[in-house]
Amino acid sequence: MKTALHFLFFLSVVTICSSLELEWLESPNPTGFLRCLRSSTTDHINQLTFTSANSSYTDIYSFSARNPRFLNASGRLSPAVIVTPSAESQVQAVVICARKNDMQIRTRSGGHDFEGLSYSSTYTRPFVLLDMINLRSVIADPVAKTAIVQAGATLGEVYYWINRASGTLAFPAGVWSTVGATGLICGGGYGPLRRKYGFAADNVLDARIVDVRGNILDRKGMGEDLFWAIRGGSCSSFGVILSWKLNLVDVPSKLTIFTVTREERQTEIMYPFQTIAPVLPNELDIRCRISTVRNNASTRADGLVVQLGFTGSYLGSAEEALAIFDSRLPQLRIQRSELQEVTWIEALMQSSFFPFFSANYTPENFLDRTFLADIPTKAKSDFVRSPISVPGLNGLWDKLLEVGEGETTVIFTPYGGVLDSYPESTIPFPNRAGTLFMIYARVLWVGNTTQKLEWIRSLHDYLTPYVSSNPRRAYYNYDDLDLGANPATGMISNIAARRWGRSYFNNNFNRLIAIKTLVDPVNFFRHEQTVPTFSLIQDM
Ligand SMILES: Cc1cc2nc3c(=O)[nH]c(=O)nc-3n(C[C@H](O)[C@H](O)[C@H](O)COP(=O)(O)OP(=O)(O)OC[C@H]3O[C@@H](n4cnc5c(N)ncnc54)[C@H](O)[C@@H]3O)c2cc1C
Ligand SMILES: *[C@@H]1O[C@H](CO)[C@@H](O)[C@H](O)[C@H]1NC(C)=O
Ligand SMILES: *[C@@H]1O[C@H](CO)[C@@H](O)[C@H](O)[C@H]1NC(C)=O
Ligand SMILES: *[C@@H]1O[C@H](CO)[C@@H](O)[C@H](O)[C@H]1NC(C)=O
Ligand SMILES: *[C@@H]1O[C@H](CO)[C@@H](O)[C@H](O)[C@H]1NC(C)=O
C-alpha cells in the first residue's frame, strides 16, 4: 500500500517536474530577482536588500556567520543578494521572486549551522540569503503558558522574554545564547530539560511557514505531515519558517546547578557514568565536557591530562541533589560546596555562557547577539547505545591527547528520562529509547587545518566500534558534509542521500522524502543536505 502510494506520487510529480526542471537549466538571474522584489513589495525593500555593491554587505553577511571557518573560506560562495525582511509579506516576495528568477535561497536565523549552509554554498550557483534577523520578536503568555517566537530570535532572546513574563516558566531548548531558536527546533533541539520535558521540537504547538508557492501556512493549513517534518526533520527542505508557538513548562523558583572538573581517575568515573546518568531522576541534567589541560600531575612530556567537566542542573534543592550524587555517582565525589542554588534564569546564564560565565553577567546579556565570541570549529556527533568499554575509554583519552591543549572538546550528553517513553517516529529526530548518550566531538580550526580535519576524522574512525551502527547515527543540528551532499542541480543518488539521511533521521527519512515530494515537488528548497524528492532520487 505504502509503496503504491509512493509510486503514485512519483508519477504525478514527474510530469510536473519535467516542465519545471527545464527552468533550472536557465541561468540564475540576480538582477531579475532584485527587479521582481522591488516591484512586488510596497515596503522599503531597498533598505533591506544588499549586494556586494553595498558597503554594508560584508557586515550584514558576517554578523550572523557564526562559524568563522566559513568566512573567506576557499570553495565557499557567499550570497549574490542578501534580504533582511522586516515583514512576513517580504518573505513571501523573496520566495516568489527567487523561483521566477531561478535563484536558490538559503535561510538564516541564528547562523550557527555547523557547515555554514545557511549562508554560504559549496556550489557555484549564485543564491539569495534570506536573513531573518529583523523578525525576532518573542511574546510570552504566562497564563496560557505559551510563547509566540519569530524565526530570527536567538535562544537568549527567547529565554530573556520568557523570564520577563515569569521566573518559573521555561522552554526546553539548548544552551549558548546566540544559537537560533529556529535552527535548533528544526533539528530537534535538546537542552538541560530534555530528560524531564523532551526536546524543543516536542514542545512546539504551532508554526507558520512560507511554502514553495509563497503561501503562509499555519499548522492547520500545512497539515500534520509537514508539521511533523519541521520538528526535527530540517526546515530548509520544506519552506521558510516565520514563527513558532511554543509550549512553556514549569520550573521551580530555586534549583541547583554545578560545574565540577576532575583531572584524575577518568576511566573509573566515566565507565559507570555512561549507564547511571541515563537512569537518574528526570529532574537531574548532567553532561560531561571532556577536554585536555595542563596539570603538573601529568606523566606526559607535554604536561597535559584529560579533564572531565561535569555541568548541569537539578530541579530541586542542593541537599536533594547531593543525596543523589552520593548514592548514585559516588565516584564523582561531589561536595556540597560545589553545588549552588539559583533561579532558573541564573541557571540558564550559567549553562549558556559556560565555560566563560562571570558573576557580573545579567539577563540582559541574553539580548546581545554578539555577546559570545565565535570560534572556528569542525565537529561530528554520535549516539551511544551500549557503554564504551574500559579499554575503549582509555584509548579515547590517548586519542584526545594527540592534539594540543584544549584544541578538542568532546561532550557526553545522557538521554533517558521521558525520552525513553516516545517511539522513534514521534518526530523526525529518532534518537529516543535505547540511546544512552549523545557524543559531540569538535576540534578547533586553528593551526594546520588539514591536520585538524584528518584528526577529527580519525577520532570518528576510532569511535566506530563503540557507537550506533547501521545506520551510524548523527545529529542533524551538528550537520557534517563528510556524510555526503546533494549536487547543486539535477538528480540525486539514492545511495548518497540515504547515507546522511538515514544517519540523521533513520527510518523517518522515508516519510520526510514523501512529505518533501508533496510540498515542494520542484525541489526549490535545496542545499547540500536538504531532503530530496522521490523524482530526483536515482535508483530508488
Ligand atoms: C555553540 C553552539 C551551541 C549549541 N548548543 C546546542 C544545544 O544545546 N542543543 C542543541 O540541540 N543544539 C545546539 N547547537 C546546534 C544548533 O541547534 C544548530 O547549530 C542549529 O542549526 C542552529 O540554529 P541557527 O538558527 O543558529 O542556525 P542557522 O545557521 O541560521 O540555520 C540552521 C539550519 O536551519 C535552516 N533555517 C534557519 N532558519 C530557517 C527558517 N526561518 N526557515 C527555514 N529554515 C531555516 C538553515 O537554512 C540551516 O539549514 C549548538 C550549536 C552551537 C554552534
Ligand atoms: C544598496 O545599493 C542599492 C543601489 O545603490 C540601493 O538602492 C540600496 O538602497 C542599497 N541598500 C542599502 C541597504 O543601503
Ligand atoms: C574576511 O575578510 C575580511 C575582508 O578582507 C576581513 O575583514 C575579515 O577579518 C576576514 N575574516 C576572517 C574570519 O578571516
Ligand atoms: C602542582 O600544582 C599545585 C597547584 O597548582 C601546587 O600546589 C603543587 O605544588 C604543584 N606540584 C608540583 C610537584 O609542582
Ligand atoms: C599539515 O598537515 C598535513 C597532514 O598532516 C601535512 O601533510 C602538511 O605537511 C602540514 N602542513 C604544514 C604547513 O605543516
- The single-letter DSSP state of residue 281 is -
Model confidence, pTM: 0.94
376 lines ligand 3 (CB under 6 A): no
Instruction: Please say whether the beta carbons of 313 and 352 come within 8 A.
Output: no
CA dihedral 392, 396, 402, 403 (to 10 degrees): 160
Rounded distance from Cα 58 to ligand 3 centre (Å): 9
- Domain 23-134: give its CATH code: 3.30.43.10
Ligand nearest to the CA of 61: 3
Rounded distance from Cα 460 to ligand 5 centre (Å): 20
32 lines ligand 3 (CB under 6 A): no
Looking at 1.20.1050.10, 3.30.465.10, 3.30.1360.230, 3.40.50.11810, the CATH number of the domain 138-250 comes to 3.30.465.10
CATH architecture for the domain at 255-342+375-476 = 3-Layer(aba) Sandwich (3.40)
Between CA 141 and CA 164 the distance in angstroms is 10
H-type alpha helices, 181-280: 181-186, 194-197, 219-229, 266-276
Between CA 481 and CA 259 the distance in angstroms is 33
Between CA 514 and CA 225 the distance in angstroms is 9
Dig out the grid coordinates for 58 from the structure. Answer: 560584508
447 lines ligand 5 (CB under 6 A): no
pLDDT by position in tens, the chain (length 540): 333 334 333 333 333 433 444 344 469 999 999 999 999 987 689 999 999 999 999 999 999 999 999 998 999 999 999 999 999 999 999 999 999 999 999 999 999 999 999 999 999 999 999 999 999 999 999 999 999 999 999 999 999 999 999 999 999 999 999 999 999 999 999 999 999 999 999 999 999 999 999 999 999 999 999 999 999 999 999 999 999 999 999 999 999 999 999 999 999 999 999 999 999 999 999 999 999 999 999 999 999 999 999 999 999 999 999 999 999 999 999 999 999 999 999 999 998 887 778 888 999 999 999 998 899 999 999 999 999 999 999 999 999 999 999 999 999 999 999 999 989 999 999 999 999 999 999 999 999 999 999 999 999 999 999 999 999 999 999 999 999 999 998 888 888 899 999 999 999 999 999 999 999 999 999 999 999 998 777 764
Pocket test for ligand 3, best of 57, 62, 120, 445 (most atoms within 8 A of CB): 62
Whose C-alpha lies nearest to ligand 3, atom 1?
Answer: 72
Rounded distance from Cα 185 to ligand 4 centre (Å): 46
Sketch the domain layout of the chain as residue ranges.
23-134, 138-250, 255-342+375-476
Q: Which residues contact 261 (CB under 8 A, 6 or more apart)?
A: 307, 308, 309, 310
448 lines ligand 5 (CB under 6 A): yes
∠ Cα 244 232 73 (to 5°) = 95
Residue in this structure with the C-alpha cell 511554502, named with its chain if needed: 211
